[in-house]
Amino acid sequence: MTTQSRHSPWLLGGIAVLVYLFLYAPIAVLTALSFNASRLSGSWEGFTLAWYLKAVTNPAVLAALRNSLLVALVVTVIATAIGTAAALGRQRGGGGGAAEASIMLPTVVPEIVLAASLLLLFASIGLRLGFATIVLAHVGFTVSYAFVVVKARIAGFDHSLEEAAMDLGAGPLRTFFLVTLPAIAPAVLAAALLVFALSIDDYVVTSFVAGVGATTLPLQIYSMVKSGVSPEINAVSSVLLAATGLLLWGTFLLEQGRSLRVAAVPAVLGLAMLAAPFALARGQAGRGETVLNLYIWSNYIAPETLAKFEQRHGVRVNVDLYDSNEAMLAKLQAGNAGYDVICPSDYSLQVLIAQGLLRPLDRAALRHLVNIDPLFLDRPFDPGNRFSMPYFWGTTGIAYNRRRVTVPVESWGVLWDPRYRGRVLMLDDPREAFMAALKWKGHSLNTTDPDVLARARDLLIAQKPLVRAYNSTNFEDVLLSGDVWLAQAWNGQIAKAMDQDPDIAYVIPREGATLFIDNLAIPADARQVELAHAFIDFTMEPEIAAEICRTMRYSSPNRAALPLLPEDLRRDPAVFPPREVLDRLETVQDVGEATVTFDRMWTEIKTAR
């Protein structure tokens, strides 16, 4: 029994309105900006649907959407069926309090725990990561929600209806379909819509258990977010929000006891929003179509280049992205990743070779090998290049805004200058961060001397108050947006940033820096071996290598490609530093057991105040 309260309605109402605003403001802003013609969130430059168009025709987005829908569909059927059965059983007195509690427990457990344990499960039974693992994982965490929803709604279910049906001659099965199911239909549908929405939206669990070519929409959005703040993401996000919002509104209406027809309106609208681009998406590889699975760094190859390869060989290239060697290593070490070509950096190549995870290359298939500058061949991490071919090389240096940073930038020490408190960005990479500290004090970046490392750690801890963020994905955006003035950075993306803003400069400090060489390699369990070789060889063709360098701005190890590059690119010191600078550079080597020490110290740095 509720009565109207005599408490002051205005104060409470005011707070309530503020909370509602709080809840909806970010969403509203996001949606509004998705229609903004300007790339920057600051200024409004007119209403446009261009970003939506871009998002809807982005092949990666479409593929991810397709995957999300397929997964969600399968998961919905399974989880709803199982959850409904359990709710019915429980409502009829089956099981007990313990059974019910254990079914409901997963709804409260932190997602990270569920995600990690599922990854371990799949890794330990050798199940290849892919669609199946996502479906299983999603069923695992959604079935509890289906149970809760159905159970709540059928609480008052009248058993005498089922008895009446049996009394009139219907056996148990016919009773279920003719009487029980229609009676609980709204509950079941509400549960189905909820499961669907949860599956479509999930990021954490999916990120742990997704495999090749099974990128879902949230994973795609995440990688886009990490790559920069573009209105295209706003558009995709808004669509996702609107679609799932409509689905959930339908759930809500059904739970409230409204008729199916009324609840169907928003639900169908939501589904339509998700399905529409689906019609435009390219189909999954048909039985005849061959697919090459490429696992590569973000910002490392342009879609146009890939398209050329696809056309030439009549195949499809499926691209999955990563932004750290560790992420790539983790995927491969878990086994059964399913990739045909990967792009490990120097030291991670060492690890992969030592663990026997790579396939030796067949020289005969790599005719364009001769184009590679011998400077980048036969390096310690892969003597004789038995397993890899250089793809890109680059440097880690300091990028900065010339207008803001008026002192000369020559040493790593500038990143410790208290004048730039809160305006510094460091790469979110333990080896790179340590490199800056180690090099500054004249040590090798591959040292394993515990005292030296400890001192470097202390330096990095002391640096923390100056650091605005640790970021390895879109550091150039953070610099461009003015959030930071100095950034430890990799040269390729900075070269692109320098095109956008002439105030951005890049320098390799005098103490030296990292030279990284990223190489193409073929995992031992790759399926398309011949095609993989063809792809590697393809990237070493002069025109192709030139195109790759031109579009991505990282440095090409391909001698034959250099003459084909535009003049300004060839002379750009950020992309092709002079010889004497190159001599100051060191490549990263794996430090074996000391990795644990590194990780521990990195954690200490991250948690320091």
Partner 1 sequence: MTARRHATWLLVPCLMALLLLVYLPQVLMFAVSLGHRSAYGAVVYGTSPSNYWRAIDPLYAWILWRSLLLALATTVTCLVLAYPVAFWLGRIIPPRWRNALLALIVLPFWTSFLVRMYAWIVLLRSEGVVNQALAAAGLPALELLYNDAAVLVGQVYGELPFMIIPLYVSLEKLDGTLLEAAADCGAGPLRRFTQVILPQTLPGIVAGCVLVFIPSLGAYLAPDLLGGGKTAYVGNLIQSQFATARDMPFGAALSFLLSLVVVLLLLAFRRPIRAAGSL
Partner 2 sequence: MKGAVSVRGVTRAYGNVVAVCDVSLDVAPGEFLTLLGPSGCGKTTLLRLIAGFERPDRGTIHVSGNDVTAVPAHKRPVNTVFQHYALFPHRTVRGNVAFGLEIEKRPPAEIARKVDEALDLVRLGGLGNRRVTELSGGQKQRVALARALVLEPDVLVLDEPLAALDPKLRKEVQIEIKNLQERLGTTFVFVTHDQDEALVMADRIAVMNHGRIEQVDGPEALYERPRTRFVADFLGVSNLLEVTPHTRDHGRVRLRTASGLEFDADDDGGYELGRAVWVGLRSERISLVDRAGNVLDGVIDDEIFLGDWTDWRVRVGPGGDVLSVGEGNVLARSRRRGEVVSVCFPPDAVMRLDDDGGERPGG
The footprint of partner 1 on residues 464-483 (CB under 8 A) is 464, 467-471, 481-483
With left for phi above 0 and alpha for psi between -120 and 50, is residue 168 left, alpha or beta?
alpha
When CB distances are held under 5 to 8 angstroms depending on the partner's kind, the choice from partner 1, partner 2, none that residue 586 binds is none
**Interface with partner 1 (CB under 8 A), residue from 137, 495, 521, 548:** 137
Nearest to partner 1 of 249, 377 (CB atom): 249
Residue 233 half-sphere exposure, CB side, CA atoms within 13 Å? Answer: 17
**Interface with partner 1 (CB under 8 A), residue from 170, 241, 268, 452:** 241
Q: Which of 267, 402, 361, 341 is nearest to 526 (CA)?
A: 341
Q: What is the DSSP letter of 316?
A: E
Nearest to partner 2 of 180, 350 (CB atom): 180
Q: Which residues bind partner 2 (CB under 8 A)?
A: 158, 160-161, 163-171, 174-175, 178-179, 182-183
Taking each helix axis from N to C end, the angle separating 260-280 and 231-255, rounded to the nearest 10 degrees, works out to 150
Radius of gyration of the chain (CA): 28
Minimum gap (Å) between residue 105 Cβ and partner 1: 7
**Interface with partner 1 (CB under 8 A), residue from 355, 360, 383, 402:** 355
Q: Contacts with partner 1 in 397-426 (CB under 8 A)?
A: 422
When CB distances are held under 5 to 8 angstroms depending on the partner's kind, the choice from partner 1, partner 2, none that residue 324 binds is partner 1
Minimum gap (Å) between residue 310 Cβ and partner 1: 30
Decide: is 5 part of the binding site for partner 1 (CB under 8 A).
yes
What are the Cα distances from residue 10, in Å, to 14, 18, 271?
A: 6, 12, 39
Minimum gap (Å) between residue 286 Cβ and partner 1: 31
Q: What is the DSSP letter of 555?
A: B
Nearest to partner 2 of 176, 416 (CB atom): 176
The CA angle 79-84-90, to the nearest 5 degrees, is: 130
Write the single-letter amino acid at 453: L
Nearest to partner 1 of 243, 507 (CB atom): 243
Q: Which stretch binds partner 1 (CB under 8 A): 7-15, 338-346, 378-386, 485-493?
A: 7-15
Residue 283 phi, psi dihedral angles, 5° rounding: -70, 160
84 CB-near residues (< 8 Å, 6+ apart): 146, 150, 184, 187, 188, 191
Burial 289-298 (b: 16+ CB within 10 A, else e): eebbbbbbbb
Decide: is 33 part of the binding site for partner 1 (CB under 8 A).
yes
Interface map 516-555 toward partner 1 (x if CB under 8 A): ----------------------------------------
When CB distances are held under 5 to 8 angstroms depending on the partner's kind, the choice from partner 1, partner 2, none that residue 164 binds is partner 2
Q: Which stretch binds partner 1 (CB under 8 A): 179-187, 387-395, 463-471, 538-546?
A: 463-471
Nearest to partner 1 of 14, 566 (CB atom): 14
Minimum gap (Å) between residue 508 Cβ and partner 1: 23
What are the Cα distances from residue 119, in Å, to 103, 204, 338, 429?
A: 21, 12, 16, 23
Q: Which stretch binds partner 1 (CB under 8 A): 117-125, 183-191, 287-295, 518-526?
A: 117-125
Three-class SS state of 317: strand
Minimum gap (Å) between residue 125 Cβ and partner 1: 9
Interface map 194-233 toward partner 1 (x if CB under 8 A): x--xx--x-xx---x---------x--xx--x---x---x
State the Cα–Cα distance between residues 533 and 218, nearest whole angstrom. 32
**Interface with partner 1 (CB under 8 A), residue from 127, 330, 365, 369:** 330
Nearest to partner 2 of 171, 356 (CB atom): 171
Minimum gap (Å) between residue 175 Cβ and partner 2: 8
Three-class SS state of 504: strand
Cβ atoms 315, 531 nearer than 8 A: yes
**Interface with partner 1 (CB under 8 A), residue from 80, 175, 227, 237:** 237
When CB distances are held under 5 to 8 angstroms depending on the partner's kind, the choice from partner 1, partner 2, none that residue 118 binds is partner 1
Question: Where does residue 197 rank: exposed (0-12), middle (13-18), buried (19+ CB within 10 A)?
Answer: buried
When CB distances are held under 5 to 8 angstroms depending on the partner's kind, the choice from partner 2, partner 1, none that residue 311 binds is none
When CB distances are held under 5 to 8 angstroms depending on the partner's kind, the choice from partner 2, partner 1, none that residue 482 binds is partner 1
Query: Tokens in use for 410?
Result: 């020559």
Decide: is 377 part of the binding site for partner 1 (CB under 8 A).
no
3-state SS, one letter per residue, for 190-234: HHHHHHHHHHHHCCHHHHHHCCCCCCCHHHHHHHHHHHCCCHHHH
Nearest to partner 2 of 166, 330 (CB atom): 166
Say how many residues touch partner 1, by CB under 8 A. 123
Length of the chain: 609
Q: Contacts with partner 1 in 579-608 (CB under 8 A)?
A: 592-593, 595-596, 599-600, 603-604, 606-607
Burial 34-70 (b: 16+ CB within 10 A, else e): bbbeeeeeeeeeeeeeebbeebbebeebbbbbbbbbb
Interface map 70-99 toward partner 1 (x if CB under 8 A): -----------xxx-xx-xxx-xxxx---x
Cβ atoms 92, 159 nearer than 8 A: yes
The set of long-range contacts for 446-453, using a CB threshold of 8 Å and a minimum separation of 24, is: 446/586, 446/588, 446/589, 446/591, 448/591, 448/592, 448/594, 448/597, 450/597, 453/594, 453/597, 453/598, 453/601
When CB distances are held under 5 to 8 angstroms depending on the partner's kind, the choice from partner 1, partner 2, none that residue 137 binds is partner 1
- Largest interatomic CA distance in the chain: 95
How far apart, in Å, do the first and last CA atoms of the chain sit?
52
